[in-house]
Structure 1
């Protein structure tokens, strides 16, 4: 039975981090399945785009707390030059006025939750994992083909990443997912994750996880299980 485990070298850098995992099993992520409720999902994403402006109150983008806390976190480990965490990437689109557009039903749902709560959210197709999934520091060279890329861009030594036996699943913590494990219309069992490095957002993290689980079953069917992980509870069965 496979597990998700967060290793000691991660906790050495981020002892106060909290991770919420939502296992969504038996879902249907096709546009055909959600056709009748697609307008609701679109409205959910549109509303979250508007609501996310509440996180952009500082005159300088990088000084907004949701941004600054993650930039500080990214300074604690080796990263590919210029990368930013996923919530910063979403909020940058909000600041520019372009907004976050639709991708596929489940990605749209977790992006809406991410924007509403100001927390990084991500998702992977669980059935693509090879062995256990780890949140850990990279040895370096873990295979990775990013979404939209044609050439591999493998992990750096000391980088925080999600990985399995075959390579990197998500590089630079939550910067970018890989093509091998991405959520698609064929995804039936999804590993969804929400992360926090700010102890002040612990309640928001738990609320976001519950909301993501509720929305996933509401629109995509299946069942969900929510597990909260921290330094004293650092692994779970998938």
Structure 2
């Protein structure tokens, strides 16, 4: 699955600096937030990038480029750094939210067993199947999708319910998204940090990584 993830050429033209580090984790033993993940969230909140950081502003600029209004539908990292203390969801989501705010990059988490086909990042035609709560994507909007339909609208604004990571998730896909000025080295470091937290949750977890740029 990880080898089939792709970025559509129309998205590349919109932001040639975009890259995504895909991480697949197999055999997770997820569970509810505990004292350990609360420590991760608290430490990350104390070290989070500010809302006016240039890494966050880069995503607002990207949203404006395809017609979205980032003050109304915020990029995920922008919305997250405004939510302090960070929300407690479950061990795996707590882990990637902590990495997201510390490094200032959006991270999507997907339940692979609920995914249908390969993940791809495209500009919407406007007729893609979408959950009622997400609403229909607008023509030209950047979306993540699979064979069933939209999995995340407006690049990383809002995820569908179908593929969310829950306490029952065993296999997961994480999408760590980069725009300049976040460096390739920091993207890799964020991936290393997430891998370490997932291994802390499940020492026997099997990890695959692929950089798509």
Q: What is the TM-score when the length of structure 2 is the normalising length?
A: 0.91
What is the aligned partner in structure 1 of residue 119 from structure 2? 133
Change (3 A) 1:69 1:151: closer
| 1:143 to 2:132 alignment | no
What is the aligned partner in structure 1 of residue 149 from structure 2? 167
What is the aligned partner in structure 2 of residue 42 from structure 1? 38
In structure 2, C-alpha distance between the alignment counterparts of 1:202 and 1:152, rounded to whole Å: 31
What is the aligned partner in structure 1 of residue 78 from structure 2? 88
Q: Which runs of 5+ in 1 are unaligned?
A: 231-238
Alignment of 1:1-238 (within 5 A): 3-31=4-32, 38-52=34-48, 55-56=49-50, 61=51, 63-79=52-68, 82-93=72-83, 98-145=84-131, 151-221=133-203, 222-230=205-213
Larger Rg: 1
What is the aligned partner in structure 2 of residue 235 from structure 1? none
Q: What is the TM-score when the length of structure 1 is the normalising length?
A: 0.82
In structure 2, C-alpha distance between the alignment counterparts of 1:28 and 1:138, rounded to whole Å: 35
In structure 1, C-alpha distance between the alignment counterparts of 2:182 and 2:92, rounded to whole Å: 27
In structure 2, C-alpha distance between the alignment counterparts of 1:100 and 1:30, rounded to whole Å: 17
Cα drift, residue 106 of structure 1: 0.6
Cα drift, residue 201 of structure 1: 2.5
Change (3 A) 1:151 1:169: closer
Deviation sequence 1:140-164 (CA, Å, 0-9, x none): 132333xxxx745121111101001
Change (3 A) 1:27 1:200: closer
In structure 2, C-alpha distance between the alignment counterparts of 1:110 and 1:151, rounded to whole Å: 24
C-alpha contact 1:86 1:174 (8 A) present in aligned 2: yes
In structure 2, C-alpha distance between the alignment counterparts of 1:90 and 1:206, rounded to whole Å: 21
In structure 2, C-alpha distance between the alignment counterparts of 1:101 and 1:85, rounded to whole Å: 17
